[in-house]
Amino acid sequence: MRNLSLFLMALFYIGAGTLHFVGPEFYLRIMPPWLPWHRELVFLSGVAEVLLGIFVLIPRTRKLAAWGIIALLIAVFPANIHMAINSDQFPQFSPTMLWLRLPLQFLMMLWAWRFTRCEWRPR
């Protein structure tokens, strides 16, 4: 289960990061208006997700990558709040789903945190 969890996490972040380049329009729409450089931040976060997804697979970089994932989830949290507050701008998602997505971020942080522990070894 540990290996499966690790590979699913890596696949999730590599896939999510790739989507920033395939469909940046969606990510540009969810950027809070008070943030500068929307396009640059979308691409930067996409690069970060792809790299962190790769580095979490490498034993030497796993711990740092997991901390990076936690930092990334904190950094993108304002965009998720923006979506929930402005749910009328995202009719393809139910408002309930957008609000439930917020605590999901903390579960994803917990998932990444699991791989920050030194004693973790894949089996």
Domain that holds residue 89: 2-116
Does residue 123 fall inside a structural domain? no
pTM of the model: 0.90
Closest CA to 75 of 113, 107, 101, 49: 49
User: Would you state the pLDDT for residue 119?
Assistant: 56
pLDDT at 2: 80
Token code pair at residue 40:
């640059």
Question: What digits encode the pLDDT tens for the residues 68-86?
Answer: 999 999 999 999 999 999 9
Is 16 in contact with 42 (CB distance < 8 Å)?
no
Determine, yes or no, domain membership for 83.
yes
Question: What is the model's pLDDT at position 51?
Answer: 98
Q: Is residue 121 part of a domain?
A: no
Domain-located, residue 32: yes
Task: Report the number of distinct structural domains present in the chain.
Answer: 1
Report if residue 122 sits inside a domain: no
SS (H, E, C) 42-106: HHHHHHHHHHHHHHCCCCCCHHHHHHHHHHHHHHHHHHHHHHHHCHHHCCCCCHHHHHHHHHHHH
Closest residue by Cα to residue 46 from 68, 69, 16, 25: 16
pLDDT number for residue 23:
95
In which residue ranges of the chain is pLDDT below 70?
118-123
Q: What is the largest CA-CA distance in the chain?
A: 46
